[in-house]
Chains A and B, each alone.
Chain A
């Protein structure tokens, strides 16, 4: 059986995140309109399904990795868990002491913070072993998808109904800009590298 490739993982994650974004834009606003507690609970849990799917795919990717890849994944994950765990612990005590005001929705930032920290640590680790994320199996395709997804999100933000100051619209603009930057920078780097290499030949 062929290995579960990074490319397969990245395309599945992008699809899941697209579903998650669509859900948050189209279905999540209904949560505040419904009065039924059970329906609220179903909608709230349904929002997490794409993210749970992403976590399952990540576990599958790590399980199917070779020993060095598994090492980098696990070091990055344990570092991210320790950092975010420590930050939430500090934040929890500060909130309990009344120094900062945090409500339950602050928990929504825990998983993205883990993913961000994991990504940064793994990027650093892969570089230390002489690797480069652009040379990995997935190549440049996931970055192109990310830029494309960012452009679509930007269009959705432009066409989103409501006032220009709507917090949801700002969130969309922020997400779209982030995707375009995170996807665009590696593409530009690769383009420069190829241009430089062609210039030498």
Chain B
């Protein structure tokens, strides 16, 4: 699954650590999500969508099967 978290974070001028703090997760988890190495759970995905004020399907895009 691809996502726009890195771009959205950069737009807001947040570091990975700052975003991690706001989502109550570790910086490594943010890094793994941004690089597409880890797909977040549905509750965390909704939390991310709520934080960026966007629908979940605008942030997370299904990758090639």
Contact = CB atoms under 8 A, between A and B. Distances in A.
Contact of B29 (A3, A69, A128, A135): A69
Interface string B25-44: 11111011001011011001
Given A67-B44, A68-B32, A130 B37 contact: yes
Interface residues of B, number: 14
A68 B25 contact: yes
Interface of B: 24-29, 31-32, 35, 37-38, 40-41, 44
A67 B37 contact: no
A152 B40 CA distance: 43
Interface string A29-40: 000000000000
Question: 4 closest Cβ contacts across the A-B interface?
Answer: A66-B25, A129-B32, A68-B29, A131-B28
A129 B38 contact: yes
Nearest to A67: B41
A129 B36 CA distance: 9
Contact of A131 (B25, B32, B40, B44): B32
A62 interface: no
Contacts of B27: 135, 137
Interface in A109-148: 126, 128-131, 135-137
